[in-house]
Structure 1
Protein backbone atom coordinates (compact mmCIF):
# COMPACT_ATOMS: atom_id res chain seq x y z
CA UNK A 1 0.00 0.00 0.00
CA UNK A 2 2.83 2.36 0.92
CA UNK A 3 4.60 1.84 -2.41
CA UNK A 4 1.35 2.65 -4.23
CA UNK A 5 1.11 6.02 -2.50
CA UNK A 6 4.79 6.69 -3.15
CA UNK A 7 4.35 6.07 -6.88
CA UNK A 8 1.27 8.30 -6.87
CA UNK A 9 3.23 11.06 -5.13
CA UNK A 10 6.07 10.82 -7.66
CA UNK A 11 3.53 10.93 -10.52
CA UNK A 12 2.04 14.12 -9.14
CA UNK A 13 5.43 15.78 -8.89
CA UNK A 14 6.25 15.25 -12.56
CA UNK A 15 5.53 18.26 -14.80
CA UNK A 16 2.23 17.95 -16.60
CA UNK A 17 2.49 17.40 -20.31
CA UNK A 18 0.14 19.18 -22.64
CA UNK A 19 -2.31 16.63 -23.99
CA UNK A 20 -2.43 16.56 -27.77
CA UNK A 21 -5.05 14.50 -29.53
CA UNK A 22 -3.32 12.83 -32.46
CA UNK A 23 -5.49 11.95 -35.40
CA UNK A 24 -5.00 8.30 -36.31
CA UNK A 25 -4.33 7.99 -40.03
CA UNK A 26 -7.15 6.41 -42.02
CA UNK A 27 -9.88 7.10 -39.48
CA UNK A 28 -9.88 10.78 -38.46
CA UNK A 29 -12.69 10.35 -35.91
CA UNK A 30 -11.24 7.40 -34.01
CA UNK A 31 -9.71 9.72 -31.39
CA UNK A 32 -13.01 11.37 -30.51
CA UNK A 33 -14.68 10.17 -27.33
CA UNK A 34 -18.20 9.75 -28.76
CA UNK A 35 -17.68 6.94 -31.22
CA UNK A 36 -16.82 7.13 -34.91
CA UNK A 37 -19.69 9.33 -36.07
CA UNK A 38 -18.31 12.73 -37.19
CA UNK A 39 -21.69 14.39 -36.64
CA UNK A 40 -21.72 13.68 -32.92
CA UNK A 41 -20.29 16.34 -30.65
CA UNK A 42 -16.88 15.65 -29.24
CA UNK A 43 -15.63 16.92 -25.91
CA UNK A 44 -13.26 19.31 -27.68
CA UNK A 45 -16.04 20.81 -29.80
CA UNK A 46 -18.19 21.38 -26.70
CA UNK A 47 -15.21 22.88 -24.85
CA UNK A 48 -14.51 25.17 -27.81
CA UNK A 49 -18.13 26.37 -27.86
CA UNK A 50 -18.03 27.10 -24.12
CA UNK A 51 -14.79 29.03 -24.52
CA UNK A 52 -16.30 31.15 -27.29
CA UNK A 53 -19.43 31.83 -25.25
CA UNK A 54 -17.38 32.74 -22.17
CA UNK A 55 -15.14 35.13 -24.10
CA UNK A 56 -18.22 36.75 -25.65
CA UNK A 57 -19.89 37.15 -22.25
CA UNK A 58 -16.78 38.69 -20.69
CA UNK A 59 -16.49 41.11 -23.61
CA UNK A 60 -20.13 42.13 -23.12
CA UNK A 61 -19.62 42.58 -19.38
CA UNK A 62 -16.55 44.74 -19.92
CA UNK A 63 -18.42 46.80 -22.50
CA UNK A 64 -21.34 47.33 -20.10
CA UNK A 65 -18.96 48.31 -17.29
CA UNK A 66 -17.28 50.90 -19.50
CA UNK A 67 -20.63 52.27 -20.62
CA UNK A 68 -21.85 52.50 -17.03
CA UNK A 69 -18.79 54.56 -16.15
CA UNK A 70 -19.44 56.85 -19.12
CA UNK A 71 -23.14 57.29 -18.35
CA UNK A 72 -22.36 58.00 -14.70
CA UNK A 73 -19.97 60.76 -15.74
CA UNK A 74 -22.48 62.18 -18.20
CA UNK A 75 -25.41 61.99 -15.77
CA UNK A 76 -23.41 63.60 -12.97
CA UNK A 77 -22.44 66.34 -15.41
CA UNK A 78 -26.07 66.98 -16.40
CA UNK A 79 -27.79 66.61 -13.02
CA UNK A 80 -27.75 70.30 -12.01
CA UNK A 81 -29.31 71.29 -15.33
CA UNK A 82 -32.17 68.81 -14.89
CA UNK A 83 -32.87 69.91 -11.30
CA UNK A 84 -33.23 73.64 -12.01
Structure 2
Protein backbone atom coordinates (compact mmCIF):
# COMPACT_ATOMS: atom_id res chain seq x y z
CA UNK A 1 0.00 0.00 0.00
CA UNK A 2 2.84 2.35 0.83
CA UNK A 3 4.42 1.77 -2.57
CA UNK A 4 1.16 2.78 -4.23
CA UNK A 5 1.05 6.04 -2.25
CA UNK A 6 4.68 6.80 -3.13
CA UNK A 7 3.96 6.08 -6.81
CA UNK A 8 0.84 8.24 -6.65
CA UNK A 9 2.85 11.14 -5.15
CA UNK A 10 5.44 10.79 -7.95
CA UNK A 11 2.69 10.85 -10.54
CA UNK A 12 1.06 13.90 -8.93
CA UNK A 13 4.41 15.72 -8.87
CA UNK A 14 5.03 14.76 -12.46
CA UNK A 15 1.57 15.96 -13.45
CA UNK A 16 2.21 19.34 -11.78
CA UNK A 17 5.49 19.69 -13.69
CA UNK A 18 3.70 18.93 -16.95
CA UNK A 19 0.96 21.45 -16.14
CA UNK A 20 3.58 24.14 -15.48
CA UNK A 21 5.33 23.25 -18.72
CA UNK A 22 2.04 23.39 -20.64
CA UNK A 23 1.26 26.82 -19.18
CA UNK A 24 4.74 28.01 -20.08
CA UNK A 25 4.43 26.73 -23.65
CA UNK A 26 0.96 28.23 -24.01
CA UNK A 27 2.26 31.62 -22.81
CA UNK A 28 5.16 31.41 -25.25
CA UNK A 29 2.78 30.42 -28.04
CA UNK A 30 0.51 33.36 -27.24
CA UNK A 31 3.48 35.71 -27.32
CA UNK A 32 4.62 34.31 -30.66
CA UNK A 33 1.12 34.62 -32.12
CA UNK A 34 1.03 38.30 -31.13
CA UNK A 35 4.42 38.80 -32.77
CA UNK A 36 3.21 37.06 -35.93
CA UNK A 37 0.14 39.32 -36.03
CA UNK A 38 2.31 42.41 -35.58
CA UNK A 39 4.71 41.22 -38.28
CA UNK A 40 1.82 40.48 -40.64
CA UNK A 41 0.43 43.97 -40.08
CA UNK A 42 3.86 45.41 -40.90
CA UNK A 43 4.06 43.23 -44.02
CA UNK A 44 0.64 44.48 -45.14
CA UNK A 45 1.75 48.09 -44.62
CA UNK A 46 4.91 47.42 -46.63
CA UNK A 47 2.91 45.84 -49.45
CA UNK A 48 0.77 48.97 -49.68
CA UNK A 49 3.88 51.15 -49.67
CA UNK A 50 5.48 49.01 -52.40
CA UNK A 51 2.35 49.41 -54.52
CA UNK A 52 2.46 53.17 -54.01
CA UNK A 53 6.14 53.29 -54.95
CA UNK A 54 5.56 51.17 -58.05
CA UNK A 55 2.77 53.52 -59.13
CA UNK A 56 5.03 56.52 -58.52
CA UNK A 57 7.81 54.88 -60.55
CA UNK A 58 5.43 54.17 -63.43
CA UNK A 59 4.23 57.78 -63.36
CA UNK A 60 7.81 59.09 -63.38
CA UNK A 61 8.79 56.69 -66.15
CA UNK A 62 5.93 58.07 -68.24
CA UNK A 63 7.05 61.63 -67.50
CA UNK A 64 10.64 60.77 -68.42
CA UNK A 65 9.50 59.21 -71.68
CA UNK A 66 7.45 62.33 -72.46
CA UNK A 67 10.44 64.57 -71.70
CA UNK A 68 12.70 62.46 -73.91
CA UNK A 69 10.27 62.80 -76.81
CA UNK A 70 9.97 66.55 -76.28
CA UNK A 71 13.74 66.85 -76.07
CA UNK A 72 14.13 65.00 -79.38
CA UNK A 73 11.52 67.27 -80.96
CA UNK A 74 13.36 70.35 -79.71
CA UNK A 75 16.70 69.01 -80.92
CA UNK A 76 15.20 68.35 -84.35
CA UNK A 77 13.68 71.83 -84.37
CA UNK A 78 17.03 73.41 -83.40
CA UNK A 79 18.87 71.36 -86.00
CA UNK A 80 16.42 72.54 -88.68
CA UNK A 81 16.81 76.17 -87.60
CA UNK A 82 20.60 75.88 -87.65
CA UNK A 83 20.42 74.30 -91.09
CA UNK A 84 18.21 77.12 -92.36
CA UNK A 85 20.62 79.73 -91.04
In the superposition, the TM-score normalised over structure 2's length comes to: 0.49
Higher relative contact order structure (alpha carbons within 8 Å, sequence separation ≥ 6): 1
Q: If each structure's helix is expressed as a fraction of its own residues, which one has the higher value? A: 2
